[in-house]
Amino acid sequence: MKVCVTGAGGYVASWLIKLLLSQGYTVNGTVRNPGDDKNAHLGKLENAGEKLRLFKADLLDYDSILAAVKGCDGVFHVASPALSGSVSNPEVEIVEPAVKGTLNVLKACSEAKARRVVLVSSIVAVIINPSWPKEKVMDESCWTDSEFCRKTNNWYCFAKTAAEAEAWDYAKSNGLDLLSVCPGIILGPMLQHTTNASSLILLQLLQEGYEEMENNERVIVDVRDVAEAIKLVYEESGAQGRYLCTSHVIKNQDLVQMLKETYPNYNYPKSFKEGRALPELSSEKLQRNGWKFRPLKETLVDSVENYKGNGLC
């Protein structure tokens, strides 16, 4: 019942650790600096005093990852380099850390003889594929077109796709029991006190007051449902392959209208123009394994109340 969670102080990892601790797991969590105040919320989780140990680790430092993974039955690789600001060399600053970091985790799992590994990938490793037939539902068989991402300088999506693809190549070559979960935009309350990229999407809708915004479709899933999905596939003996983890597809204008019903006084976008439509997506594989998700309204209200409590809006 001992597992390792990488990137323990992050948004998804924090909720996953909270869930695992509540279910009796002992957790090794990797963080850059265990004493950093941004990780303080982890020590306040139920059972953290007895069952959570934080390891100082860097994904590019193999030995530090191995130390955290040793003795663990399973590993959840949640950590991922984030795209923040401009970069001069995206191949080196974004792609290489994502791929090398993932491979370091998998190699450590092989050496430590972990029973199963769950990689948290992303929907962006699935949906950016111009050649996918528009009438065909996107499922786990669809992969993002890496070369299209490279040509369009979409380095975050390229990195997520490359990291997952390399992970599958490694697992197949080395007999590692690997699963991947590919969530959409993750919303819901935060356990940590620092904002993350997906929360900023919602905060911008509430605060920025855009004169006009593209009416793009958003693929949304609740962070608590993502944590449940990750734990579910790990515990399901017959689980295999990739799992899309999405629950709601909604246009920006409809999302704003839903927010206004409960929170009418924020600085919402003033108008919308035609935006990007997404192909139909299916999380049927995950649902067949018993995964359920909460209503979008619940996710939005819990998110906004959490932001208000943290003085963010």
Cβ atoms 218, 252 nearer than 8 A: yes
Residue whose C-alpha is closest to residue 85's, from 184, 165, 156, 186: 156
Reply yes or no on whether 297 is catalytic: no
Catalytic residue of the set 18, 51, 160, 251: 160
SS3 56: strand
Please give the structure tokens belonging to residue 54: 């934080």
Kindly list the catalytic residues. Answer: 160
